[in-house]
Chains A and B, each alone.
Chain A
Amino acid sequence: MSDRRKTLVAHARSLLSEGGPSAITFRALAARAELSVATVSRTFDGVPALLEACLDETYEELIESLYTAIESVDHLPPRDRILSLLAHTLGFARARPEIAHLRYLITAESGLPSRRIETLGPLLDRIASAAGVPPKRVLEARLVGHTLSILIVRYVLHPSDELNEITGEDSLDSVTEHLTRVALRLYGDIR
């Protein structure tokens, strides 16, 4: 990625965290980056391409951090690896709610893009292996990993008042406990 592209993506992500996807316009980005709108539009074909670039960059960070996390828990028993990888992914998503929102929005509009699907398969398989799932159950494990990622991303998007109505209590901990139970049970079912 060129330096200009990187800089613009960084500014776009900061706009996203402040105002959500609707805050992203070439004009707003140009003002933030102190560049002309023409320069921004020479770098990105349009706002959708810019938003995809934000998602791509975050997704690369997630993949890299997850592979590192998987290596760092290699010595632990599978149950502890599941707990650790879940906590890592939850922490990653909770630190970036604006990206989670964008991911869900674009998926609803046009589905997961092909290039992300290509990298998602090997990642889900690597997580399944860390969770102690035997290779013959890899397809079931992909569904488990995918479901957990869907839930993690979606729960991050609930405003706290909405979450309080849903859980009946004022606590993020109940969501963490819930996702932990689900992850241990689903991976446990296929080990």
Chain B
Amino acid sequence: MSRPKDADSAQTYERIVAAARSRLEERGIDALTMRLVARDAQVSTGTLTYYFEDRDALLEACFSEVYRALTRVANDCLARLGQEPAIDIAERGTKEIWAIARQHRELARARLLSNMQRGTISVARMRRNLLPALDYAEKIFPHLAPAQARLGVHSLTLTVLRYAVASEEELALLGLGDGPEGATARIGDHLASLTRAVFEVDDRA
């Protein structure tokens, strides 16, 4: 495909992704159409499709910044290994990831929706984003059976993603009606307990 007149590489790319993210976070996944993003980014639809083949490709670009933030958290956690107990690092990491997910809840919703509509997680995406974290978990928590360490990370991921899209009404049911910030903090504490539950060998019941 030849390069459209208003395509000037990195700048245009960034402008489009910024427009898409802002549309997604302010108005939700239904408002993310190629036509409206092109309008917001002040590019032609031809330019938009030059950079992004379809809405899914645009969505992946929106997710990439969040993935970068999540990778930073994971790398910080790995860098602290050996300096403090692994479980404390994991607990703090979960809370940081929860804060990122809640801050980008419309992106989380889009991710969840796209997984559910497809009925499966894309294998390529799973290998890129999920499986390396599961491999690390096996090494970091050697006292657990490998499958249990891997499932620990996966359960945390699933739970964070699901609570990120919780409505105000759902939070109120859970007794978390003390404003969005209070609810976010309470769920963060719960996720910290969940982190210990998945990685420690002690059922207490």
* A142 engages B175 (CB within 8 Å): yes
* A117 engages B170 (CB within 8 Å): yes
Residues from chain B with a CB closer than 8 A to the CB of A157 are 116, 119
A108 within 8 A of B: yes
**Total residues of chain A contacting the partner, CB 8 A:** 51
* B148 engages A108 (CB within 8 Å): no
Bound-state CA distance A174–B151 (Å) is 8
Number of A-B contacts (CB under 8 A): 133
Residues from chain A with a CB closer than 8 A to the CB of B200 are 185
Residues from chain A with a CB closer than 8 A to the CB of B159 are 147, 150-151
* A117 engages B169 (CB within 8 Å): yes
Residues from chain B with a CB closer than 8 A to the CB of A140 are 190
User: B178-205 interface mask toward A, CB cutoff 8 Å, 1 = contact, 0 = none?
Assistant: 0000000011001001101110101111
The smallest C-beta distance from A144 to any residue of chain B, in angstroms, reads 8
Residues from chain A with a CB closer than 8 A to the CB of B155 are 151, 178, 182
* B170 engages A181 (CB within 8 Å): no
* B116 engages A112 (CB within 8 Å): no
* A108 engages B205 (CB within 8 Å): no
Q: Main secondary structure on chain B at its contact with chain A? A: helix
12 A-B residue contacts at CB 8 Å? A78-B205, A105-B116, A108-B113, A111-B170, A140-B190, A146-B174, A151-B159, A154-B158, A157-B119, A162-B120, A162-B123, A174-B147
B134 within 8 A of A: yes
Residues from chain B with a CB closer than 8 A to the CB of A139 are 174-176
Bound-state CA distance A111–B108 (Å) is 13
CB within 8 Å of B: which A99-155 residues: 101, 104-105, 107-109, 111-112, 114, 117, 120-121, 131-132, 138-140, 142-144, 146-147, 150-151, 154
